[in-house]
Amino acid sequence: MQKKIVCILSLTFYLWLNINHAIANVGRKTIPLNDNWSFYFAYNFEKNIQKESISVPHTWNAQETLKGIAAYNRTAAIYERSLDIPAYWQGKRLFLFFEGVNSVASIFVNNKFVSEHKGGYTAFSMEVTNYVKPGKNNLTVQVSNAYRLDVLPLHGDFNIYGGIHRPVSLIVTEQNCISPLDYASSGVYLTQNVNEKQAQIEVLTKLSIQNATKLKLRTSIFDKDKREIVSTIDEINDKPTALTQKYSINNPILWNGKSNPYLYTVEVSLLENGVPIDKVSQPLGLRYFHVDPENGFFLNGRYLNLYGVGRHEDVAGKGSALQHTDHERDMNLIQEIGATAARLTHYPQNSYFYDLADQKGIVLWSEIPFVGPGGYTGTGFVNNENLKNQARENLIELIRQNYNHPAIFFWGIFNELKLNYDDPEPFLKELHNLAKKEDPNRLTTLASNLGDDKFTTLTDLMGWNQYFGWYGNRFSEVADWADKTHRNLPNKPISISEYGAGASPFKHTEELKQPIPSGKFHPEEWQTAFHEAHWKLLKERSFLWGKFIWVLADFGSSIRTEGDQNGINDKGLVTYDRSTKKDAFYFYKANWNPEPMIYIAERRNNVRHNATTSIKVYANTKEVELWVNGIKQEKKAKNDINIVKWDNVKLTQGRNIIIAKTKVNGKIIKDSCEWQLQPAQTENN
Ligand code: GCB
């Protein structure tokens, strides 16, 4: 009897376990495949070669590109790891999802070729259900960053870091699922038509249906506090590849840039016999906008001055193989400086960075890596069908993968192409049309470095990369350029898509003199002067719909042998390792970030030879007090670009203590630094 009870109990427990396992086992799972890879270069054919154990994101070029030798290792490498497939996944579908492999990837499962992907900065996915067996399987990725003419970019002042430089995962689904195969997008596309009173939202869901068994699609929209606002369920008949559902929200809360980056969430669930078997969640930021050639950018009916930085995904020691914390640090810098916008140069960036921009309300320009030579020789375009196909695919990937990010407003189709090789214009027109077909609700743009009679009819908006006072010319010419371009193209919304100057925070001068860009001496003070002069002239020109500094942080460019360090473009407002914010960073912070601040500029220029000097403070409060060696100077007010300046200040030989103070709501905030005055050096000492 007792035995019988034990048997019944065990059977019940067994059934309960199985049912629970089955329930727990239903639905999409995303399993990270970032660890336990081995790595070696593809030219090693010996059987017992040494393989390096690595995790992805990974690149093999992060260090050597700093030698300043253009010929860094653009070769092929092999990444391997095992794929463990539990037996209870029998009947599931399996997809590999790569967020970015630079720049051509060939994927093999159990030594069988599955697929190839070209282009290092977009995600790609593939189904591998029929390539795997229960138990251990091998995943091999052959990666090449070799220079070739059929993969963008053909050119560029940045490194093409070879490797699996973004995360990898395995997606496990039921037989029927929301498609992970539509250009590696989420499979859900949210299109909006918004005004203050009402938002109409169309949710297009791409499906991958193997067996049509009582399927339904439930789509719900939740507000920020996770309260469901609307929800519908539609039956799925036959085996459709897509389904569209429509919603409206009255009195929507708008995504309003930094002032209120309000996000709803759209949750799309696929139900089989009433049980959810797949679910995709996407952010929804409701907003409307336009760009006016005379008055710039308007978000939700109000003028928004778009200013910010270009951003490369590249950090000292890591190249482009970044972690979430690296992206967060960059976003924190963008927020700290007070930017309203960023241009994500020169390629689609990590999906996490777009998430951060959605959450923080930063308006984005995002682009494909269609990059021309700028001031160098060579071409960014050849009229070759293979290259054109890759560029088309890349643009579709950029748009579909990032379609739902409210932060993105502009799709960039190229940077600094030239006209002295194959004429790129017909193809650029085609790319503009393709972008419009994929996404009629955003605007296209480009970044040119040619005259205002070139490339002006291709895209909705335009931008020019301008370096007045760096690669020749004088700072003030930026105003003449802007006004003349605006006069010549009165109906075209124009922007300054890059402006900047190189600087080392460790090189200084007391006499401002334009440095030689290709030289080693890039004193910080010239960059500061460049930005002060530029911002004064640019800030008032609201017809410029965007003003983008080149660049947030110094970045790797193997072709450069200038400034302090080979292989670095030093036009960043922050150093390559993000440890030092240059003076220009604080200049913009004082102008863009309303949080009270005070900062003594030229603080690092701390060995002085001129006994009479100027002292400059950046502050966003009205007045600033200054003490030099305990002696109070005249209290001064800031000027129109938040600079407070004292001329003819006398320093004493040896140590000088400078203290600047200001009052914020009755509280004193201050900054201080120390300079040494030393006798001027003569040739003999
Ligand atoms: C440009 C390019 C950018 C370069 C920059 C520079 O116009 O678009 O990729 O890095 O100039 O620093 O010269």
Which whole number is the average pLDDT over 105-133?
98
Q: Which atom of ligand 1 is nearest to 375's Cα?
A: 13
- Give the distance from CA 487 to its chain's centroid: 32
Residue 95: pLDDT band (50, 70, 90) is very high
Ligand 1 neighbour 157 (Cβ under 6 A)? yes
Closest CA to 406 of 513, 300, 549: 300
340-367 per-position pLDDT tens digit? 999 999 999 999 999 999 999 999 999 9
pLDDT given at position 2: 54
Give the residue numbers annotated as catalytic, written as ranges. 416
pLDDT digits (tens, 9 = 90+) for 161-217: 999 999 999 999 999 999 999 999 999 999 999 999 999 999 999 999 999 789 999
pLDDT average, residue stretch 246-250: 97
Q: What is the mean pLDDT of residues 315-330?
A: 98
Predicted confidence (pLDDT) at residue 6 exceeds the cutoff of 70: no
User: What is the CATH code of the structural domain delimited by 607-677?
Assistant: 2.60.40.10
Element of type H or E holding 465:
strand 462-465
Q: Are 268 and 279 in contact (CB under 8 A)?
A: yes
Nearest C-alpha neighbor of 621 from the set 590, 577, 580, 651? 590
Confidence of residue 67 (pLDDT cuts 50, 70, 90): confident
Contact 588 CB / ligand 1 (< 6 Å): no
Domain ranges of the chain: 305-382+390-421+446-594, 607-677
**CA-CA distance, 222 to 267, in Å (whole number)?**
8
Angle of CA points 271, 273, 277, to nearest 5°: 35
The mean pLDDT of 419-424, rounded to a whole number, is: 96
- The reported pLDDT for the residue numbered 685 is 38
| CB-count burial class (<10 Å; 0-12, 13-18, 19+) for 294 | exposed
Q: Note the pLDDT tens digit of each residue in 572-629.
A: 999 999 999 999 999 999 999 999 999 999 999 999 999 999 999 999 999 999 999 9
- Look at phi and psi of residue 251 and say left if phi exceeds 0, alpha if psi is from -120 to 50, else beta: left
Pocket residue to mutate for ligand 1, from 152, 416, 522, most atoms within 8 A of Cβ: 416
The pLDDT of residue 68: 76
Is 366 near ligand 1, meaning CB less than 6 Å away?
A: no
pLDDT, position 289: 98
Of 626, 671, 677, the residue nearest 655 (C-alpha): 677
Least confident among 45-54, 393-402, 437-446 = 45-54
Closest residue by Cα to atom 10, ligand 1, is 157
659 CB neighbour count, 10 Å cutoff: 16
Separation of first and last alpha carbons in the chain: 106
CATH topology of domain 305-382+390-421+446-594: TIM Barrel (3.20.20)
List the Cα angle 45/51/52 in 5-degree steps: 145
For ligand 1, is residue 560 a contact (CB within 6 Å)?
no
- The predicted-structure confidence for 9-41, as pLDDT tens digits, reads as follows 454 444 444 444 444 578 999 999 999 999 999
With 0.85 as the threshold, say if the pTM is over it. Answer: yes
Averaged over 288-309, what is the pLDDT? 98
